[in-house]
């Protein structure tokens, strides 16, 4: 294992819940209910694609102009930004800091493969930016998760082969993207939702360098 590519929301910090609340608030304004089950389908999905999925759920794909959709997405993002305003290192999920330290000690490269355009801001607030050797800019990608492009770009930017990487994700779309990139994946959360992952752990506290090394070695068949 030469590199680990991390998702951000729901893996490094619990911003997944803020995305959910911000979309829910927008949904209430336009008469589309967003519950936790439907929200699973939005995890890992870009802002624009999330809005399109929400409108499709309410059969309102044709109800708004492009400009109106852009305004709605911007409005959601403004609300989301107020929610993340006060974030600090105390919001780093359990085990993540120790994992990043362990990876650094072993000279294993660290990359961010998040669909969020707020990713760099959040890493700054968490004071984790310096750990990351590469941060993929999602605005430059052609396709979002479950397409493998974000993970393949991360590996390329780090100068490693996809087969030498482990991807860590909390979303079904993300796990699919890692698999499509021909990488070993570790899912954090519910095994029913993340069943396609090489290994699923219930929470971030279980993520250690040893575990990632072990999962990678077993899957790739070497150490
Ligand atoms: C992903 C989240 O990390 O980023 C999604 O799981 C979110 O819920 C996506 O829609 C895009 O985030 P942002 O911050 O660019 O709107
Ligand atoms: Mg996520």
My answer on whether 102 and 73 are in the same domain is: no
Looking at the CA of 20, name the nearest ligand: 1
Each residue's pLDDT tens digit, 116-172? 999 999 999 999 999 999 999 999 999 999 999 999 999 999 999 999 999 999 999
Does 146 sit behind a cis peptide bond, omega within 30 degrees of 0 on the bond before it?
yes
My answer on whether 8 and 109 are in the same domain is: yes
The CATH number linked to 79 is 1.10.150.240
pLDDT for res 223: 47
Each residue's pLDDT tens digit, 72-117? 999 999 999 999 999 999 999 999 999 999 999 999 999 999 999 9
Residue that terminates a domain, selected from 62, 86, 110? 86
45 lines ligand 1 (CB under 6 A): yes
Residue that terminates a domain, selected from 86, 119, 146? 86
My answer on whether 141 and 210 are in the same domain is: yes
Region for residue 8 given its phi and psi (left: phi exceeds 0; alpha: psi -120 to 50; beta: otherwise): alpha
My answer on whether 65 and 120 are in the same domain is: no
Transcribe 155-172 into DSSP letters: HHHHT--GGGEEEEESSH
My answer on whether 123 and 72 are in the same domain is: no
My answer on whether 52 and 154 are in the same domain is: no
Each residue's pLDDT tens digit, 179-217? 999 999 999 999 999 999 999 999 999 999 999 999 999
Please confirm, yes or no, whether 130 is among the known catalytic residues.
no
Q: Give the integer Cα–Cα distance in Å for 84 and 167.
A: 25
- Cβ atoms of 145 and 45 within 8 Å: the answer is yes
Q: How far is the CA of 115 from the centre of ligand 1 (A)?
A: 5
What is the extent of the structural domain holding 74? Answer: 16-86
169 lines ligand 1 (CB under 6 A): no
Q: Which residues are annotated as a binding site for Mg(2+)?
A: 7, 9, 169-170
The CATH number linked to 148 is 3.40.50.1000
Transcribe 84-101 into DSSP letters: HTT--GGGBPTTHHHHHH
Strands 109-112 and 184-188: unpaired
My answer on whether 138 and 165 are in the same domain is: yes
Question: Which of 11, 15, 44 gets mutated to test ligand 1 (max ligand atoms within 8 A of its CB)?
Answer: 44
Cβ atoms within 10 Å of 201's Cβ, excluding its own: 20
Each residue's pLDDT tens digit, 30-58? 999 999 999 999 999 999 999 999 999 99
Question: Which of 46, 87, 138 gets mutated to test ligand 1 (max ligand atoms within 8 A of its CB)?
Answer: 46
**Kind plus residue range of the DSSP H or E element containing 186:** strand 184-188
| Structural domains of the chain, count | 2
My answer on whether 116 and 156 are in the same domain is: yes
Instruction: Give the confidence band of 222 by pLDDT, cuts at 50, 70, 90.
Output: low
Residue that terminates a domain, selected from 64, 86, 108? 86
My answer on whether 60 and 111 are in the same domain is: no
Helical segments of the chain, H only: 16-30, 36-40, 47-57, 66-84, 96-105, 119-126, 149-158, 172-180, 209-220
Q: Which residues are annotated as a binding site?
A: 7-9, 23, 42-47, 50, 76, 114-118, 145, 169-170
In this structure, which residue's CA is closest to atom 12 in ligand 1? 116
My answer on whether 121 and 165 are in the same domain is: yes
Transcribe 65-78 into DSSP letters: -HHHHHHHHHHHHH
My answer on whether 47 and 116 are in the same domain is: no
Instruction: Give the confidence band of 221 by pLDDT, cuts at 50, 70, 90.
Output: confident
My answer on whether 50 and 98 are in the same domain is: no
In the sheet where 134-135 sits, what is the strand order? 134-135, 109-112, 3-6, 165-169, 184-188, 199-201
């Amino acid at each position: 294992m030469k590199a680990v590519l991390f998702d951000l929301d729901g893996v490094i910090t619990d911003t997944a819940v803020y995305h959910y609340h911000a979309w829910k608030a927008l949904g209430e304004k336009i008469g589309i209910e967003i519950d936790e089950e439907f929200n699973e389908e939005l995890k890992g999905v870009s802002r624009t694609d999330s809005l399109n999925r929400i409108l499709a759920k309410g059969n309102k794909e044709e109800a708004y102009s492009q400009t109106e959709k852009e305004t709605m997405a911007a409005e959601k993002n403004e609300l989301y930004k107020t929610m993340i305003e006060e974030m600090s290192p105390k919001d780093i999920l359990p085990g993540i800091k120790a994992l990043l330290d362990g990876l650094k000690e072993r000279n294993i490269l660290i990359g961010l493969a998040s669909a969020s355009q707020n990713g760099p801001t959040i890493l700054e607030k968490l004071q984790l930016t310096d750990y990351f050797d590469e941060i993929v800019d999602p605005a430059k990608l052609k396709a979002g998760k479950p397409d493998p492009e974000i993970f393949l770009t991360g590996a390329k930017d780090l100068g490693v082969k996809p087969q030498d990487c482990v991807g860590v994700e909390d979303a079904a779309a993300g796990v699919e993207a890692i698999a499509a990139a021909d990488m070993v994946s570790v899912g954090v959360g519910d095994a029913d939702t993340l069943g396609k992952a090489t290994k699923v752990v219930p929470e971030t506290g279980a993520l250690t360098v040893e575990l990632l090394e072990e999962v990678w070695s077993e899957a790739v068949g070497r150490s």
